[in-house]
Amino acid sequence: MTTPSSKPRILVSRAIFPEVLAQLESVFDVEHNQADALWSAQELITRLQGKDGVLTTGSECISAELLQACPQLRICANMAVGFNNFDVPAMTASGVQGTNAPDVLTETTADFGFALLMATARRMAESEHFLRAGLWKRWSYDMFCGSDIHGATLGILGMGRIGQGIARRGFHGFGMKVIYHNRRRLDAEMEAACGARYVDKATLLTQSDHLVLVVPYSAESHHVIGAKELAQMKSTATLVNIARGGIVDDAALACALRSGQIAAAGLDVFEGEPRVHPDLLTVPNVVLTPHIASATLATRRAMAQLAADNLLRFFVHGDVLTPVNTPVASRN
């Protein structure tokens, strides 16, 4: 006869680093998904039955319906800094702790944002495709001319930790003029460290040579860059989105790229990813990457470890390291 385990029961909803999984397995009763199957919303609910906690990536949705169907669930630990896959008000109201994975990915993601900006402005993907296609027959004076990064105006929408990392790179490394718009203005010391000047959104759109989006996704930031905003940008401008799909209206962006309303875009995130708007696949002046801004082994390992540490802290010490909410009541 088997006796029910007294260990907390945890679901790890996607494949993660085996060594992090092994740590969880040494403390918890773990169901994992090392086969990395993509579960439907219903299958996730089924697998969560009787689970006390879950380690999610940004791809699994923790909805009010799921919370209601999984009354034993007490904590959702996201292996991502963004947590728009969580219905936070529903979690808070139903006593479920949410955590995310901030800080450990800041510099890696800022590196990538800057790399995508450079690849976009200097037309690296477009010119590489041209070379691979065997179309390079001779040098010419204006072949794949892009726009300068050094000395240009770098605009940043969303000046959190990653936005500040990009600002520092632009200001200290490339002598850029940095302007930003954010819900909250940084204090003077932080602005000085990034060499950044606060402007309103219209000024950001009209003055940026390169505009990088690092704003979290919410109802408020949905399509914050659409046809109207693209029309306000310089025709020579580049746009980079490393934040979340849905912040940019991808259909409007494809039109703006095709018509030359802006010069180029670099996108790491897409509305409805992993699907990509078909029009973006056919315009040449866009660099497309599959949501990899935080993807170095060291950083992804640190993100998984932080999510695991949140679960360990919660069940062993009754607190967490990086909460995204303060539940109003506790379950059970």
Please give the positions annotated as active site.
Answer: 244, 273, 291
216 binds ligand GLV (CB under 6 A): no
* Contact (CB, 8 A) for 280 and 288: yes
81 binds ligand GLV (CB under 6 A): yes
CB within 8 A of 3, min separation 6: which ones? none
**Radius of gyration, CA atoms only, the chain:** 22
Tabulate helix, strand, coil % of the chain (nearest 5). 40, 15, 45
Residue 218: Cβ within 10 Å count: 13
Question: Among 8, 23, 53, 58, which residue interacts with ligand GLV (rule: CB under 6 A)?
Answer: 58
The backbone torsions φ and ψ at residue 208, rounded to the nearest 5 degrees and listed phi first, read -70, 135
Quote the least distance from Cβ 81 to ligand GLV, whole Å: 4
Quote the least distance from Cβ 96 to ligand GLV, whole Å: 19
Secondary structure (DSSP) of 85-148: TB-HHHHHHTT-EEE---STTHHHHHHHHHHHHHHHHTTHHHHHHHHHTT---S--TTTT----
- Binding segment for ligand GLV among 11-19, 62-70, 75-83, 115-123 (CB under 6 A)? 75-83
16 binds ligand GLV (CB under 6 A): no
Q: Which is nearer to ligand GLV, 264 or 303 (CB)?
A: 303
164 binds ligand GLV (CB under 6 A): no
Question: Among 27, 69, 72, 82, which residue interacts with ligand GLV (rule: CB under 6 A)?
Answer: 82
80 binds ligand GLV (CB under 6 A): yes
- Binding segment for ligand GLV among 65-73, 77-85, 227-235, 315-323 (CB under 6 A)? 77-85
Residues numbered 105-134 forming contacts with ligand GLV, rule: CB under 6 A: 105
Quote the least distance from Cβ 248 to ligand GLV, whole Å: 15
221 binds ligand GLV (CB under 6 A): no
241 binds ligand GLV (CB under 6 A): no
Select from 103, 89, 85, 105 the least CA-distant residue to 41.
85
Pairwise CA distance, residues 6 & 10, whole Å:
12
CB within 8 A of 238, min separation 6: which ones? 117, 120, 121, 147, 209, 210, 211, 262, 263, 264, 265, 266
170 binds ligand GLV (CB under 6 A): no
Q: Which is nearer to ligand GLV, 171 or 270 (CB)?
A: 270
Residue 286's DSSP bridge partners are 265
Quote the least distance from Cβ 294 to ligand GLV, whole Å: 5
* Contact (CB, 8 A) for 94 and 70: no
- Binding segment for ligand GLV among 23-31, 79-87, 110-118, 322-330 (CB under 6 A)? 79-87
CB within 8 A of 173, min separation 6: which ones? none
294 binds ligand GLV (CB under 6 A): yes
Quote the least distance from Cβ 55 to ligand GLV, whole Å: 14
Residues at the interface with ligand GLV (CB under 6 A)? 58, 80-82, 105, 294
